[in-house]
Amino acid sequence: MSTQNVGNEENAASKSKRPSDSAFKQQRLPAWQPVLTARTVLPTFFVIGVLFIPIGVVLLHFSNTANELIIDYTNCDQVGGTETCAKFLKNNTGGTCICQKNFILPSDFNGDVYMYYGLTNYYQNHRRYVKSRDDEQLLGRLSLTPSSDCTPFAYADDGKPIAPCGAIANSLFNDTLTLSQDGKVIDLLNTGIAWPSDKSVKFRNPEGNLTLALKDYAKPLFWQKSLDQLDIDNPENNGFQNEDLIVWMRTAALPSFRKLYRRLDQTKSQFAKGLKAGNYTLNINYNYPVVSFDGTKRMILSTTSVLGGKNPFLGIAYIVVGAICVTLGLALLFIHMRCSRSSNMEMINVNPHTQYS
């Protein structure tokens, strides 16, 4: 055989798509396949049910130890006016309406007390909305050319770049909510509401004077205050590190959501243990329109348990799954006892090597 023919055969062998003769590639490795029988399946159902139901009861108990009060103020009446604030904003775009909601706290809210705002029918999870931001800008690395993802909220009408740009920042929740009792305003803190990792890692202010750094930039179109004036009482809570902005920029996964807004200042002796039961007033500077997309707005007062805020879903889910498993186990046990072969017959030991008859 010529050298050329030998070379051709070697090339053909090397180009072959046939897998090598190994146990793995030829599927000769030992395998294990479970054989489901009543003896193995029924105990599994009962064990899951016996474990899940008590866990669900404990989770539900801890959830119920947290107090929660929800006040819907979507259609609250304007103070000194004859129409609702929702209608006022519809006729006066960009205006501010003041309204109040009196409510009764039915029981003491002991421990840490938090105020949330809640929105419904608001799709923060829309793909274009979620990506409409400039992360380099939020890190304090300002550029006169914002990210293209911010369009159409990248430049103001006068051509100046917007900071912070994008649809998320432009739609920042800007209602002002305060609590009062007997005409006295209750102190609420607007710091300590954002994740520490967000404030220290994902959001940074530019170096130097914030006002000078932002002089060539415009505020978002929807905002009533500029970035360096979001919290005039606390200079450390301004700019990209404003905690209200940071909380809003963490987009929600579902159309109905709540976000942490304030926490009760418990350094005052009167509120050291929380809020006492009684009559309170929610004072609202109503700026945020929601009626146009059939949304609603709520204020939520809540305490926490060892598992966090009040949320009975997890406990109910465990109880339901446990109950279903127990029910299925009882049903299958009944079927097995009624329909299985007579106990006088020899039970066939089925295993992976049993031959088909």
pLDDT for res 106: 92
Please give the full DSSP string across 213-274, using - where no structure is assigned. Answer: HTTT-B--TT-SS-GGGS-TT-GGG-GGG-HHHHHHHS--SSSSEEEEEEEE-TTSGGGTTE
Q: Give the chain's domain count.
A: 2
- pLDDT at position 77: 93
In a domain, 352, yes or no: no
Indicate if 201 and 224 belong to the same structural domain: yes
Rounded Cα distance between 220 and 203, Å, is: 17
Helix (H) or strand (E) holding 316: helix 313-339
Within this chain, do residues 53 and 78 fall inside the same structural domain, yes or no? no
Do residues 138 and 160 share a domain? yes
Within 13 Å of residue 167, how many CA atoms lie on the same side as its CB? Answer: 15
For residue 12, is it within any domain?
A: no
Question: Does a structural domain hold residue 23?
Answer: no
Are 127 and 42 contained in the same domain?
no
In a domain, 187, yes or no: yes
298 is written with which tokens? Answer: 């709520």
Residue 14 counted as domain residue:
no
pLDDT for the residue 35: 82
Taking the chain (357 residues) in runs of 10, the rounded mean pLDDT of each run is 55 68 85 83 93 96 92 93 89 87 94 95 95 94 92 93 95 95 92 91 91 92 90 89 96 95 92 92 94 94 88 94 95 86 49 59
- Asked if residue 133 and residue 56 are part of one domain, the reply reads no
What residues make up the domain containing 53?
Answer: 35-66+311-340
Is the residue at 119 inside a domain? yes
Q: Are 224 and 101 in a shared domain?
A: yes
61 and 196 share a domain?
Answer: no
Degrees to nearest 5, angle at CA 145 with 140 and 151: 100
Residue 173 and residue 146 share a domain: yes
Residues 130 and 275 in one domain: yes
Closest to 264 in 3D by CA, of 178, 329, 182: 178
